[in-house]
Amino acid sequence: MHKVAIVGRPNVGKSSLFNRLIGRREAVVADFPGVTRDVKEGVMLYENHRIVLMDTGGLWSGDEWEAPIREKAEMAMEDALAVIFVCDPREGLSAADYEVADWLRRLNLPVVLVANKIDSLKHDVYLAELWGLGFGEPLPVSAEHARGLDDLMDRVVSHL
């Protein structure tokens, strides 16, 4: 069983993406940060792969949950084969996104950088900034509109 973790700062759409990929609404999606504290697992099938996706809590939230959430995410990632790093370029990168990027570099796992909330082509203008995170080309997706998900999963399975 291949495990893949979804990580990022709060509110970028990790749980939305998780739900969309596993095809069920299991993780709670909310307009405010900090809803997911424990790691949530869900199974998805893609091509010949059976993948256990892990939805993790928002990293570098700046609140009291920051340290325990990061510890839980780190534990979950001990058996992950790849990471989906979710950002929200429409909101722009924050210090938290750069913290997550540095943390991921230390963990030494393959990282697929995802720009979420790219609901239509007109949002592509927001992508350029994400190159600065140091994980190469950002993949535009929209969890809400189910855009870009096959390209994302092709990239993910290339690391399994």
Binds ligand GDP (CB under 6 A): choice among 41, 99, 119, 151: 119
d(CA 135, CA 140): 14
- DSSP code at position 58: P
Site string for ligand GDP, 25-64 (x = CB under 6 A): ----xxx-x-xx---------------------x------
12 binds ligand GDP per the rule CB under 6 A: yes
Contacts of 16 (CB under 8 A, 6+ apart): 29, 116, 143, 144
Closest distance of CB 93 from ligand GDP, Å: 15
Nearer CB in complex with ligand GDP: 4/12: 12
70 binds ligand GDP per the rule CB under 6 A: no
Scanning the chain, the segments in alpha helix (DSSP H) are: 14-22, 66-77, 95-107, 149-157
